[in-house]
Amino acid sequence: MNKYIPSTSKWVRDQVELYEKSNGTEGNTVSDFPVMIVTNIGRKSGAIRKTPLITVKDGDRYVLIASQGGSPKHPNWYYNLRANPTVKIQDGSIIYLSLIHISAPTS
């Protein structure tokens, strides 16, 4: 069984804890945007990792945008998903298990 290792970022740890403790009724926004919690497995540690991401949907599909706030560098969770594309998405009180597909950037 994999162990959960909270983020090294305090605001991420706090947001994940609040979101999960309240079953998604609190900690569910960032800068007024709706948030979901994405759980994945760390590619190096093998540990459970959790990240609050802005909720983006295309129809009934979730879109995970690995922009790291517009940075040219991908966030760590992106590399985790490349190594292990199975994720758990919590959107409010609903939890989905999913297999992700990484799309190529478009111009």
Q: Give the pLDDT of residue 80.
A: 96
Look-up of token digits 């540690």: 45
Q: Decide: 39 and 85 in contact? Cβ < 8 Å.
A: no
CA distance 60 to 74: 25
pLDDT tens-digit series, residues 54-81: 999 999 999 999 987 788 889 999 999 9
Q: Any residues with CB less than 8 A from the CB of 13 and at least 6 apart, and which?
A: 6, 7
Give strand pairing partners of 95.
Answer: 90
Cut 0.75: pTM above it: yes
Look-up of token digits 């998903």: 81
Look-up of token digits 């605001």: 11
